[in-house]
Structure 1
Amino acid sequence: MMMLASQNSWFRFRDFARTPSLGRSVAAMLVVAFAVLILVNVTTFVMMQRTAGVNRTIEHAQQMRRASRTVLIAMLDAETAQRGYLLTGRSDFLQPFLDAEEKMKPAVAFLDEGAARDPTLKAPIERIHTLADQKWTEMEATLNLARQGRIGQAIQSVRSGEGKRYMDELRTAIDDFDAIKSARIASRTHRMEAFGALTFTMNAITGVLLLVLALLSGWMVRRYVNEVQSAREEVHALNVGLEATVQERTGDLMRANEEIQRFAYIVSHDLRAPLVNVMGYTSELEQAGKVVDKAIVAAEKTRPVDPEVVMAVREDMPEAIGFIRASTAKMDRLINAILKLSREGRRNLSPETLDMTAMTQAIADSVHHQTEASGARIEVQVLPEIESDRLSMEQVLGNLIDNAVKYLDADRPGRIVVSGEEVAGGWAVYRIADNGRGIAPRDHERIFELFRRSGKQDRTGEGLGLAFVRNSVRRLGGTIDVESELGKGSTFVLKFPKRLILPETGASL
């Protein structure tokens, strides 16, 4: 049984791959996009691992620089304590000498450990070690003379300049070691910046690719919806007696709906996965930028840093990351809107007698806080009852009233009137009129298309509301038109059959 199911699945996949269709084109496009995304993700992961390794190397180099400076500072403290003891003879002056010895031991040990890990540092660290030992031996010798009461001989030893020579050479050796480590830190910082720039570039390319894919997907959905709507209009216009033609058109509709559902599945599952990856890697890229900035701050303390590098890390990269995040957020909203439109097309309709006056008044009451804040009012007149699907009617009226409230003109008190009457032939007509901004004549039809909006874009939205309304109205067997004049207001006219008749196959029109 399992083998038979596997064979059937293979045959279906083979037929899908061989049959030219928009779905096959989408699948091929997604395969290419996913291959690119996988390559980008792997490359980004490798770059981040290398960046982390460079960060650890830089941090260890900074610690070795601090250790060498600790040796120098400890020597200076010990030398100060030595001279204080020789001048005063007071034993409390020896405490800084002992403290300096305790500070210097772990610093020297850390330097020796670094020399063991990196043989190229062995010579400069051995030089520091030797000079430190010689200086320490010289200081202990003078202190021993002083403890024996031979102060004059101890002071004469200091005046000989041997200790100063050791100290000068030690300072030079530490400066040379610091220069070596600084050069290496600068080199590794440059490599880290190169890794960061490459990672940023690849993520930016991925973001653009996803945005293009989202726009193309929206165009395909729009094309599918237009095809389905055209097919429905053709079926509605056919003669009732032409059964064969009706069956043919119905088959076309079913295939188109199935194609939409398959496409919606691809959008909801396959397109969202790389979107989540881009969001995650964008956050990691932002963290890597902070690490680079920290390294630049540390480097600026010792030497000038190229201004172009500073600008790229502190201005260009955050700006580009913000663009990627805005694009991925817009793509996520588009996916959700497309899925909503697809799900509504598959929902079963359930006709019932509707009190349209009460329903519309409840919708008006739900936006009362918005109208009250803007000084507007909604007037619901007595509306004729119809037998239709409650949820679809609520969504249609809710969208239109919400749009009327959203696009009221701030220069005059808002007024929205919902009216209706029965007309001959078993129809009911409803009007939602407002005195808002209005719609330009050239946009009267375009506002019902996917991703199209009219006028100034200063309100949130993706351009799907009225497309969703028209699709729902047509599923209920009705029509929707708009009468509007720019700057004066708009009136949306809905026409529904008094009784919704479902096809024999069910409510999924």
Structure 2
Amino acid sequence: MQQNMPQTLGLNRLLGGAIGVIALVSVLSSGAVLITGDQLREATDARSRSNQLIRALDNFRAAMLNQETGLRGYLITGRDGSLEPYRTGRLALDEAIDRLRSLIGQDPERTRLLADAVAAARSWQTEVGEVAIRIAADPAKRDEAVHIEANGQGKRLFDTFRERLAAIEGLEGAVRTALAERVVRGERNESVALWGGTLLTLLICLGIGVAINRLIVQPLVRVMSFVERVGEGNLSDQLEVRTGGEVGRLGVTLNAMVAGLSDLARTNRAATADLNAAAAEIR
């Protein structure tokens, strides 16, 4: 004898929908966290590049100052060892220029300002530094070399590259302010996405738990209580069916079963009474 498979669409739909909602919220929350995390990393990387640019500008200034210090020391002492700051400053300047070009990239305004600063620095090296060193190599011409270093041209070139570097730093200051705001906003958005997604997931889980308790657990508790009463011999009760789906069908089936048992019990009692009456007549 074949039996029809029970229909469990309602319960499956409830549980499947609950799992689907939790999965969807988790995916959306994870996606939001990833997006805000990427935005925060971009802002942090940009701020790091800005900090490196500021340090490179400081290195440019320090390299030129070291060259000036070394040149003046050589002009005063005439000793070749006094030129060590000048030589190290030249190397440091080349490194600072390369670093600045890499950090500035294709920005036209900063590129123009850097080109002007580099031109002024190179002019100081070739027109002041190298010329003064070459002339000062002859002790008799040291006064002439000192005059070249002090005639004002070197100061003008120093002022030129300092102004250009300060202009780059000013432009970068506005960028740094915007980047700081982006970082703060990114951190806030990441926290909102993380904690908001977590809170939403917890609320959905709580709602699903309440729904399962109301639609499944409580009806099953009533069913079990009804079954216990039937087991104790109470065939007069009927289970109040408040829900549909599998639990509701279970309640209807139990009511039909109990009604059948009650009818069977009445039939048995009637048959027993008839047998007792017939036996009494025979006696």
TM-score, with length taken from structure 2: 0.72
Higher helix share: 2
Structure 1 residue 155: Cα displacement: 1.2
Q: 1:115 to 1:207 in 2, by over 3 A?
A: closer
Provide the rounded CA distance (Å) in 1 between the counterparts of 2:54 and 2:229.
86
Give distance in 2, aligned partners of 1:30 and 1:206.
Answer: 16
Percent identical: 19
Which whole-Å deviations, capped at 9, do the CAs of 1:317-340 have from their partners, x for residues lacking one?
A: xxxxxxxxxxxxxxxxxxxxxxxx
Contact residue 136 and residue 145 of structure 2 kept, 8 A = yes
- Is residue 2:224 matched to residue 1:232? yes
Select the residue among 110, 116, 127 that pairs with 1:121: 110
Within 5 A, what are the aligned runs for 1:56-67? 56-67=45-56
The match for 1:188 is 179
- Contact kept, 8 Å, 1:70 with 1:107, in 2: the verdict is yes
Are 1:148 and 2:153 an aligned pair?
A: no
Cα pair 1:67 1:111 within 8 Å, conserved: yes
Which residue in the other structure is 1:87 paired with?
Answer: 76
Tell me if structure 2 keeps the 8 A contact 1:58–1:188. yes
Separation (CA, whole Å) in 1 of partners of 2:102 and 2:229:
88
Give the whole-Å Cα distance in 1 for the aligned partners of 2:137 and 2:234: 124
1:213 aligns with 2:204: yes
Question: Which residue type is aligned with residue 139 of structure 1?
Answer: G
Alpha-carbon distance in structure 1 between the residues aligned to 2:192 and 2:117: 44
Within a 5 Å distance, the mapping from 1:371-382 to structure 2 comes to none
Q: Distance in 1 between matches of 2:47 and 2:233?
A: 83
CA displacement at 1:102 relative to structure 2: 1.6
Instruction: Read off the aligned partner of 1:231 and give its amino acid letter.
Output: V
> Which amino acid in structure 2 is aligned with residue 158 of structure 1?
E
- Aligned 8 A contact 2:70 2:82 in 1: yes
Aligned to 2:271: none
Contact kept? 1:114, 1:121, Cα under 8 Å:
no
Q: Matched residues in 1 for 2:204 and 2:105: separation?
A: 53
Task: Give the aligned residue type for 1:209.
Answer: L
Structure 1: distance between partners of 2:91 and 2:117: 17
Q: Any stretches of 5+ residues in structure 1 without a counterpart?
A: 1-7, 260-509
What are the residue-to-residue correspondences of 1:110-509 with 2, within 5 Å? 110-137=99-126, 138-149=128-139, 150-223=141-214, 224-238=216-230
Q: Is the strand fraction higher in 1 or 2?
A: 1
Q: Is the 8 A contact 1:71 1:104 kept in 2?
A: yes
Give distance in 2, aligned partners of 1:116 and 1:210: 45
Partners in 2 of 1:241 and 1:158 — Cα distance?
A: 119
Task: Report the Cα offset of residue 39 of structure 1.
Answer: 2.7
- Letter aligned with residue 123 of structure 1: R
Instruction: Point out where structure 2 has 5 or more consecutive residues left out of the alignment.
Output: 251-283
> 1:86 deviation in Å?
0.7
Taking structure 1 as the reference length, what is the TM-score of the superposition? 0.42
Deviation at 1:202, TM superposition (A): 2.4
**CA shift at 1:90, angstroms?**
1.6
How many aligned residue pairs are there?
Answer: 237
Aligned to 1:104: 93
1:54–1:188: 8 Å Cα contact kept in structure 2? yes
Alpha carbons of structure 1 residues 239 and 173: separation in structure 2 relative to 1, 3 Å: closer
Segments of 4+ moved more than 4 angstroms: 239-243
* Post-superposition offset of 1:239: 5.8
Structure 1 or 2, whichever has the larger Rg, is 2
- 2-side partners of 1:98 and 1:239: how far apart? 104
CA distance 1:239–1:114, shift in 2 (3 Å):
closer
Deviations 1:83-130 (A, max 9, x none): 111111121111111111121111111122334443342111101111
